[in-house]
Amino acid sequence: MAEQPAIEIEGLRKSFKEVEALCGIDLEVEAGTVLGLLGPNGAGKTTAVRILTTLLPPSAGTARVAGLDVVRDSAALRARIGLAGQYAAVDENLTGFENLEMVGRLYHLGRSAARERAAELLERFDLSDAGARLAKTYSGGMRRRLDLGAALVARPPVLFLDEPTTGLDPRSRIALWEVIEARVAQGSTVLLTTQYLDEADRLADRIAVIDHGSLIAQGSSDELKKRVGGERIEVRLEDPTQAEAAIAALGQLAAERPWVDDGTIRVPVRQQRGAIAAAVRRLDTEQISIDDIAIRRPTLDDVFLTLTGHRSENGEAAQETDEHQADPIR
Amino acid sequence: MSARYAISDTLVLAVRALRRIPRNPDLLTAYTVQPVMFTLLFVYVFGGAIQTPGYGSYADFMIPGIIVQQMSFGGFATALGLVDDLKKGLVDRFRSLPMSRMAVLTGRTLSDIAMNALALTVMIVVGYIVGFSFDTSVGEVAGGIALCLLIGYAFSWVFACVGLLASTPEGANAFGFIAIFPLTFASSAFVPPETMPAWLRTFAEDINPFSIMVDAVRSLFVGGPGGSDILPCVAWCVGLIAVFGTFAVRRYRTAVLA
């Protein structure tokens, strides 16, 4: 299929007075896929989204969304995109239904179509019961769902979600992910910014990592993880003094020399298939008893650390891997 | 096509702004209880001490003045609403929609007219209770009411700019009280300027556009001098709308979340 990319960005730059927020970004997003734009706070993610949704003019470079130029065709483009920003942009003094109806009217769906669509979205987002209540009585998760509903009112072919799950509890996050996945299954293209590595890992077909306004890597989640060094086996021994013997026994499996760290032997492997079984056999032959053995694949957090030299600034994902891994891969 | 959308988008957003009023008791109070309270205070506390030669009663003199003052503050809802929209990210949503770019402003200012009409009705009723009465023809009264609403609409655009420039509701509030409140008092709204010190009298009579507006409305409601102020009053309103409207629309186009 020679379909035109849903988003094409070339040499995109944006500077605010003395600060350069985007320093020349090139990026393409295929129609019907999800691109995860990953980066720490202040990396330029939101600036990119604001340019692509016509809220900000670029300083230089071009960007086309759904085949339309974000500057020249901005008016036509707005009918083809949906935006859910970092703040749940709902009118607290309107009910959930009124919020969606208003957005439908502003997309010029017509009064009755706007009402039908509002009711449909409330249903889909599990807000039917709350539809007649003022949005100010909603919980954070409900507001986010309403906000995402507003972005979907016109069934836009391209959807921009700027940190859609920031500040949500785990259950609401998963619920929101499911909605986004359903939307993609129906053919929408999604550009999603996030600081959560697990979010990008789960939702995105391709991931672009930006830091300080520059694109520092892109690829599928697996490709990025490979760049960091592939899988490795981690073994804990019942008797730590046998470490040297174990390293000798596992040497043939290793892609590079294993090392010991915090009582755990780490063995980068050439291929994952059968690696655990082979390792167990070899250690067993040498009569070295195993306390624990596992295959460890690099996480996006490792990717982030390797690429940017600092950890993702966000919470759980980063901390979790911290505990597993005392020594970053180089 | 786009003109039709500009109108329908404006109406959608005007309805949105009006829906908020009964759900927000503070705002509703500002349009009903507050003007009643000020009217009663002025008539009964100051009324006896203020001489207004040429008018039947202090109420006849002061009611048109306090109505114009209330009109000039009616647009405050627009300022607060815009500050809120900017802060909550709603402006970003609106700007990403294929809607008329002016509609957020024209919708809000249009809803102010409805709220001002409500306040105006309340004040006329209270005015009648405290001794005010129209002394002019039906046509003149109707003209006066239209003029009041025009004045209110002009100030809505001033407040639209305030809302777009202020980063907090408190900031918008401070502007209202520091810039507009004193202006309404240093005018012919509550006392005849002849009793003021010479420098202030010069300001109130010759410079303050608020006096022109009050005198024009007063002449249409209860007669007396001031008929010659009607055209200048309309000119001031049109001028305010042109200047502040242009600025507000420009500012809105580039409004960026701080």
What residues of A are in contact with residue B23 (Cβ under 8 Å)? 93, 134
Could you give the CA distance from residue B36 to residue B28 in angstroms, rounded to a whole number? 12
**What 3-state DSSP class applies to A158?**
strand
Q: Are A84 and A164 in contact (CB under 8 A)?
A: yes
Judged by phi (left if over 0) then psi (alpha if -120 to 50, else beta), residue A152 lies in alpha
Contact residues, chain B, for A75 at CB < 8 Å: 98
**Distance (Å, whole) CA B231 – CA A56:** 42
Mutate to test the interface with A, among B97, B101, B106, B252 (most CBs of A within 10 A): B97
CB contact under 8 Å between B98 and A88, yes or no, is no
Question: Which of B12, B21, B96 should be substituted to probe chain A, the one whose Cβ sees the most A Cβ atoms within 10 Å?
Answer: B96
Q: Which positions in chain B have a beta carbon within 8 angstroms of at least one beta carbon in chain A?
A: 5, 8-9, 12-13, 16, 19-20, 23-24, 88-90, 92-99, 103, 256
Residue A105 has pLDDT above 90, yes or no: yes
Find out whether A296 and A279 touch, Cβ atoms under 8 Å: no
Q: What is the pLDDT of residue B54?
A: 85
Distance of CA A65 to the CA centre of its chain: 20
Query: Over the stretch A269-302, which tens digit does the pLDDT of each residue have?
Result: 877 778 888 889 988 888 888 899 888 877 777 7
B12/A86 touch (CB, cutoff 8 Å), yes or no: no
Q: Check CB contact of A83 with chain B, cutoff 8 Å.
A: yes
DSSP strand pairing (A259-261 vs A232-237): unpaired
Q: Could you tell me if A21 and A213 are in contact, meaning their C-beta atoms sit under 8 angstroms apart?
A: yes
Angle between helices B58-74 and B33-41 (to 10 degrees): 150
pLDDT for A188-226, tens place per residue?
Answer: 999 999 888 888 888 999 999 998 899 988 998 888 877
CB-based contact A247:A260 (threshold 8 Å): yes
B96 vs A98: CB contact, 8 Å cut-off?
no
Compute how many other C-beta atoms are within 10 angstroms of the C-beta atom of residue B215: 26
Nearest-neighbour CA in chain B from A104: distance (Å):
10
Contact B154, B240 (CB under 8 A): yes
Beta bridge partners, A189, equal A158
Burial of A262 per CB tally in 10 Å (0-12, 13-18, 19+): exposed
Facing residue for A75 by CB, picked from B16, B23, B98: B98
Closest chain A residue to B91 measured between Cα atoms?
Answer: A89
Instruction: Tell me the shortest Cα–Cα distance from B147 to chain A, in angstroms.
Output: 31
Q: How confident is the model at residue A4 (pLDDT cuts 50, 70, 90)?
A: confident
Phi, psi angle pair for A156, to nearest 5°: -70, 140
Q: Looking at the predicted structure, is the pLDDT value of residue A120 above 60?
A: yes
Nearest to B97 among A56, A78, A85 (CB): A78
From chain B, the residues in CB contact with A53 under 8 A are 96
Q: What percent of chain B has pLDDT over 90?
A: 63
Which residues of B fall within a CB distance of 8 Å from A50? 92
Alpha helices in chain B (DSSP H): 2-20, 25-31, 33-41, 58-74, 76-87, 90-95, 103-129, 138-165, 169-175, 181-185, 198-202, 209-222, 230-254
- Identify the residue whose tokens are 């730590």: A240
Residue pair B58/B50 in contact by the 8 Å Cβ criterion: yes
Residue A14's closest CA among A55, A68, A67, A64? A55
Of B9, B88, B96, the CB nearest to A83: B96
Alpha-carbon distance of A160 to A151, in angstroms, equals 8
Share of chain A above pLDDT 90, in %: 43
How far away is chain A from the Cα of B57, in angstroms, using its nearest Cα? 43
The predicted structure's pLDDT at residue A311 = 60
Give the residue, B216 or A263, on which the prediction is more confident. B216
Q: Which residue has the higher pLDDT, A3 or B172?
A: B172
Chain A residues lying within 8 Å of B88, measured CB to CB: 87, 89-92
pLDDT in tens, A71-101: 999 999 999 999 997 778 899 999 999 999 9
Distance from CA of A78 to the nearest CA of B (A): 5
Which tens digit of pLDDT belongs to each residue from B12-29? 999 999 998 888 888 888
Q: What Rg, from alpha-carbon coordinates, does chain B have?
A: 19
Which of A102, A106, A137, A144 should we substitute to test contact with B (largest number of B Cβ atoms within 10 Å)? Answer: A106
ipTM topping 0.95:
no
pLDDT tens digit sequence for B98-130: 999 889 999 999 999 999 999 999 999 999 999
* Alpha carbon of residue B243 to chain centroid: 16
Which residues are registered as beta bridge partners of A235? A265, A293
Distance, CA of A232 to CA of A229 (rounded, Å):
9
Inter-chain residue contact A103 with B96, CB threshold 8 Å: no
